[in-house]
Amino acid sequence: MIEGEIVMFAGFNLITEETFDDFKENGYRLFNENKKKVEKEFEIFISNDGSVNGTSLQKHWFPQIKADIFISHSHKDEEKAISLAGWLNSTFGLNAFIDSCVWGFANNLLKSIDEKYCKNPNGVTYDYEKRNYSTSHVHTMLSTALTTMIDNTECVLFLNTPNSLCTSEVINQTHSPWIYLEIAMTQLIRKKEPNRPHEILIKHAFEASEKLIIKYDLNMDHLQNINENDLKSWRDIFIKNQQIKEEHPLDTLYEKYGFIKKMETLKG
């Protein structure tokens, strides 16, 4: 792929029942490669005075992985997201970042901190205030890492399934604070056309006696709706265009939906 500055440009709301099972093996291969990059031992970030170096911890535990596409999805759809990443890589050579790759390690990090710092004297239960403190720090690190990753990734795909949305007739909602964060960030962060030389550049918690349910309104008006037929059309157009000239696969997708025209309108 042609090198250049990577900044988010476009977002898509992918509504599909396709499972991409044929590409699951490749997806897990990519997932495990990224997994190796984020798995670290917590103890190495403890300073001599006993404090934890939060800056160093975030940098090494949640490193920015070079990717073309950020896949936002429900944790319950992790396998589908991994298989979709396999399809994107096999079809276009694109590298997709799967947010649960970070989410899982956030849980591991939080557990490591809580085991060392948040136990009550009995060594069995956890101190409520200490856990609030540790959770706020880890979730701040996670939020920062996810936002930075979205900003550094050219394209965002939201995997729209019943697991990710609790949609009413009036408005889209989600139970997931992380999906809420990610979709909100796609509205707020900078948008910049990809810098590629082309003839045309188209541009979880404690269990309680009652289950806590929180819903967030989700504004997805800025995301382009697509489905499995659009994915297949994207693939077919890309293959056809490659016979004429070399073209980045994401440019093919942007051209299909006229993103460069939208960007030029905003500039005007």
Domain extent listing, the chain = 10-267
Which range of 43-57, 150-164, 185-199 scores highest in mean pLDDT? It is 150-164
Of 36-50, 177-191, 195-209, the least confident: 195-209
| Pairing status of strand 155-160 against strand 216-217 | unpaired
Using alpha carbons, list the distances in angstroms from residue 257 to 10, 11, 94, 203, 233.
10, 11, 19, 9, 12
Output the DSSP codes for 6-64.
----EEEEEE-----GGGHHHHHHHHHHHHHHH---GGGGB-TTS-B-HHHHHHHHSPP
CA angle 77, 173, 178 (to 5 degrees): 55
pLDDT of 109 over the 70 cut: yes
> Which carries the bigger pLDDT value, residue 187 or residue 70?
70
For residues 259 and 240, what is the distance between their CA atoms, to the nearest angstrom? 20
Report the chain's C-alpha Rg in angstroms: 20
Q: Return mean pLDDT, the chain.
A: 81
Beta bridge partners of 217: 173
pTM above 0.95, yes or no: no
For residues 24 and 81, what is the distance between their CA atoms, to the nearest angstrom? 9
pLDDT of 199 over the 70 cut: no
Give the per-residue pLDDT at 172: 81
